[in-house]
């Protein structure tokens, strides 16, 4: 009898162990559950995403050119490693959007190439048309592997800075803003964050907390 019980216990343990792969992680959203007043309700889960300590926006985290580097005869190519990496400064500290700043009115196109929070390849273009100042990407880049800058013909040399914005990347594709709250350094934000969602493109799901990150850990609770 003891042998039989031992065998059964071992079988249960092995079964539980084998089932772990299908238990975690699991998609829990959208399972129908019973309601008390008719109709069908659905069970969803509350996800807690922790974003590592992020600095506030830094306009030259990645690149800060001199006027002579950005001109109409030589397109600017900067990569994070290899031949064109001399002027590349640093990667974003966390997945977040990228900003470009030009020192004077210009016609300029900057192509950003990199990866999103999942490691998938992404690109985005920043464009200035007879404009100056800051342009910001809508996608959150985990890494930037290449920056291509092209000035319009007959334009004068300009200074270009490429840095980080305050939009932090979420790690889930959301079709609706289901963010419940955000906290910086353990303190709940009194004002709701600005949230952008996209059900098909992961890098377009971002959060902008009311308080600038300031080197603090950000925690976000949302329904998935």
> For 75-104, what is each residue's pLDDT tens digit?
788 889 988 898 899 999 999 999 999 988
61 token code pair: 């985290």
Per the DSSP assignment, residues forming a β-bridge with 152 are: none
> Using one digit for the tens of pLDDT, what is the confidence trace for 66-76?
756 777 776 78
Please provide the average confidence, as pLDDT, over all residues in the chain. 87
Environment class of 89 (CB within 10 Å of its CB; exposed 0-12, middle 13-18, buried 19+): middle
pLDDT number for residue 23 = 42
* Residue 128: CB atoms within 10 Å: 22
191 token code pair: 């004002």
In contact, 147 and 62? CB cutoff 8 Å: yes
In contact, 216 and 51? CB cutoff 8 Å: no
38 token code pair: 């008719």
Whole-model pTM? 0.85
pLDDT at residue 184 above 90? yes
Most confident by average pLDDT, 40-44, 62-66, 97-101, 156-160: 97-101
**Residue (of 213, 120, 127, 101) closest to 166 by Cα position:** 213
pLDDT number for residue 146 = 95
């Amino acid at each position: 009898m003891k042998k039989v019980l031992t065998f059964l216990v071992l079988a249960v343990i092995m079964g539980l162990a084998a089932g772990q792969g299908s238990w975690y992680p699991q998609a829990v959203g959208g399972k129908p559950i019973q309601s008390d007043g008719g109709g069908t309700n659905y069970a969803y889960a509350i996800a807690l995403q922790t974003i590592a300590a992020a600095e506030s926006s830094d306009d030259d985290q990645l690149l800060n050119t001199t006027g002579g580097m950005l001109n109409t005869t030589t397109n600017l190519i900067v990569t994070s490693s290899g031949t064109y990496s001399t002027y590349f400064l640093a990667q974003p500290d966390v997945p977040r959007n990228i900003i470009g700043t030009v020192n004077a009115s210009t016609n300029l196109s900057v192509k950003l190439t990199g990866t999103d929070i999942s490691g998938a390849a992404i690109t985005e273009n920043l464009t200035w048309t007879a404009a100056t100042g800051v342009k910001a990407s809508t996608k959150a880049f985990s890494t930037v592997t290449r920056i291509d800058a092209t000035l319009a013909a007959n334009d004068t040399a300009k200074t270009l800075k490429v840095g980080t914005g305050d939009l932090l990347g979420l790690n889930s594709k959301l079709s609706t803003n289901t963010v419940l709250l955000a906290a910086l350094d353990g303190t709940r934000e009194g004002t709701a964050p600005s949230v952008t969602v996209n059900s098909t493109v992961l890098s377009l799901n971002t959060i902008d907390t009311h308080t600038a990150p300031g080197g603090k850990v950000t925690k976000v609770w949302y329904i998935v």
